[in-house]
Amino acid sequence: MPSVLVLVTETPRSIAALFEVSLDIDAHVGSMRQSGERAVDGVMRGRIGLGQTVTWRARHFGVWFTMTSKITELEGPDRFVDEQVAGPFKSFRHEHLFEEADGLTRMTDTITLASPVFGRVAESLVLVPYLRKLIRKRNQHLLALLESSAE
Beta bridge partners of 68: 55, 86
Round the average pLDDT of the chain to a whole number and report it.
95
pLDDT in tens, 79-88: 999 999 999 9
Q: Stretch 92-102: mean pLDDT, rounded? A: 96
Helix axis angle for 128-150 and 15-22, nearest 10°, is: 120
Give the structural domain span for 122.
3-150
Supply the pLDDT for residue 29: 96
Q: Stretch 143-150: mean pLDDT, rounded? A: 89
- Split at pLDDT 50, 70, 90, the class of 58 is very high
Supply the pLDDT for residue 120: 86
Q: Domain count of the chain?
A: 1
Supply the pLDDT for residue 104: 96
d(CA 139, CA 149): 15
Judged against a pLDDT cut of 80, whether residue 151 lies above it is answered with no
Q: Stretch 84-101: mean pLDDT, rounded? A: 97
pTM (two decimals) = 0.94
Domain at 70, CATH number: 3.30.530.20
pLDDT in tens, 25-56: 999 999 999 899 999 999 999 999 999 999 99
